[in-house]
Structure 1
Amino acid sequence: MSNPSTFDPTVILDRLSYDRLRSYLEDCDNDLNRALDLYAWNARIAAAFLEDLGRLEVILRNRFDEALTALVSSAGQTSYWFDQPALFPGLHGERALDDLGKAKLRATQNGRLPTTRSRVIAEMSFGFWRFLCAERYLTSLWSPALASQFPNHPTPDNAIQIRADVDFRMARLHFLRNRVAHHKPIHRRALADEATSILELSQWMCSDTHGWISALSRIPAVLASRPA
């Protein structure tokens, strides 16, 4: 709990703005001190989610990269998968190709050449991987490659169901990550469900990954510490 003897809560309200504190005040019966406690807790739970989302993102992007590399190799291609426009056809592929182009530019900025696979992968956003889960990529990417990266899914041979289940969770986590990145309230969200989504995705990919993320996660403890 914050100690109002060290600051004037009304000044903090003015500094943060009423609009930013509105949802906290509404949930705390307009008790400013309680609202500031909830605001502080919101920041703590957001930080805990960022940690787990970061772990999940690195594992997932490496698995996707591995699968897509194998896909283009099996077709006799020697260039990187992200240099294969045919994987991202039509209007819906334009955004992916634009994201890839920007990632390659960032990977080679300040004279860093040649373009390396690991650098480009590291420059791609969470949103890029999330949108690779869209239904439009079922035939081109999921059935031949990406579905295989979730061997512990309840229906491991059903690429249609795997893609749908992964997409649903990635969409939720992408939305949550964007709110966290912009310091927005997440205290009204079903955060236990969001945490479950992270663990389900990690378990479907790899039991050891699930165990690692679970062991390091601060989310359960911070959720339990939510102020009344």
Structure 2
Amino acid sequence: MPAPSTFNSEVILHRLSPDRLNSYLEDSDGNLRRALDLYTWNAHVAAAFLEDLGRLEVVLRNRFDEALTALVSLSGLRQPWFDHKQLFLGHHGKRTLDDIAKAKLRATKNGRLPIDQGRVITEFGFGFWRYLCAGRHHTSMWVPALAAQFPSHPKQGNTALIRADIESRMDRLHFLRNRVAHHEPLHRRELADDAAMILELAQWMCSDTHAWMTSLSRIPTVLASRPT
């Protein structure tokens, strides 16, 4: 039996599939061992991004949840904000309400548990928060509540620009998160720009959060370790 550290690279090529390794081989001059090293590095950088994206998602969703809870409380009603259908108008609003209904089913184990706002919030994925940044929510959410959650954005007073800046970054990071989740190649992306966007969003929300996330991020170290 071969030692655990030895393996046949050609076997691994076929286990992973030539299609999956194609871009790594192209960037490694066809050298299979180097391509596998790059593939391994890709997994490491994906894990580092998943950590930072996870921290950003939790902070952002808490800010949005608090802001929208305060907004609907002005109406005197006690339902969670995601039960206020007037926030989700039109065709796209219906899709969002469908996502909310599915999240509530998961959070209540198909209705067997009572509605708990915190549990429902954790069932919303990154894409849910990204789409709350879309222009269709500008009047109902961003003008009265969400723009104020980014007090360090340089365009204070211009809600439209704040929302557009947040949306463009969330859209890019949503795409990145999907690639990470599906084990897709990241090695040709401008990953330093992706990392900067994560921290920029954190900075616009809270300087302490930015400092905390910066202190924890493994991304700079992993980027520097990319195999040659």
TM-score by length of 1: 0.96
Aligned partner letter, 1:163: R
Distance 1:93 1:52 in 2: 29
* RMSD (Å), alpha carbons: 1.4
The one-character-per-residue Cα deviations of 1:65-99 (angstroms, maximum 9, x if unpaired) are 01100110112222110111110001010111011
Q: Which residue of 2 aligns with 1:193?
A: 193
Q: Which residue of 1 aligns with 2:67?
A: 67
Distance 2:5 2:193 in 1: 37
Partner SS state of residue 109, structure 1: coil
Aligned partner letter, 1:192: A
Superposition map of 1:168-187 within 5 A = 168-187=168-187
The one-character-per-residue Cα deviations of 1:20-72 (angstroms, maximum 9, x if unpaired) are 00000011111101100000000000000000000000000000001100110
Q: Which residue of 2 aligns with 1:109?
A: 109
Structure 1: unaligned runs, 5 residues or longer: none
Q: CA deviation at 1:179?
A: 0.4
Superposition map of 1:156-171 within 5 A = 156-171=156-171
Aligned partner letter, 1:118: G
* Mapped pair 1:8 → 2:8: yes
Contact 2:142 2:159 (C-alpha < 8 Å) held by counterparts: yes
Superposition map of 1:141-152 within 5 A = 141-152=141-152
Q: CA deviation at 1:110?
A: 6.7
* Mapped pair 1:24 → 2:24: yes
Q: Which residue of 1 aligns with 2:57?
A: 57
The total of aligned residue pairs comes to: 226
Partner SS state of residue 185, structure 1: coil
Aligned partner letter, 1:206: C
Q: Which residue of 1 aligns with 2:213?
A: 213
Distance 2:192 2:147 in 1: 26
Q: 1:194 to 1:72 in 2, by over 3 A?
A: same
Distance 1:79 1:140 in 2: 17
Superposition map of 1:72-83 within 5 A = 72-83=72-83
Distance 1:16 1:119 in 2: 37
Distance 2:189 2:112 in 1: 42
150-159 or 12-21: which moved more? 150-159
Q: 1:93 to 1:7 in 2, by over 3 A?
A: same
Distance 2:169 2:70 in 1: 25
* Mapped pair 1:202 → 2:196: no
Partner SS state of residue 156, structure 2: coil
Contact 2:105 2:111 (C-alpha < 8 Å) held by counterparts: no
Structure 2: unaligned runs, 5 residues or longer: none
* Mapped pair 1:120 → 2:120: yes
The one-character-per-residue Cα deviations of 1:165-209 (angstroms, maximum 9, x if unpaired) are 100100000000000000000110110000001000000000011
Superposition map of 1:79-94 within 5 A = 79-94=79-94
Distance 2:64 2:111 in 1: 27
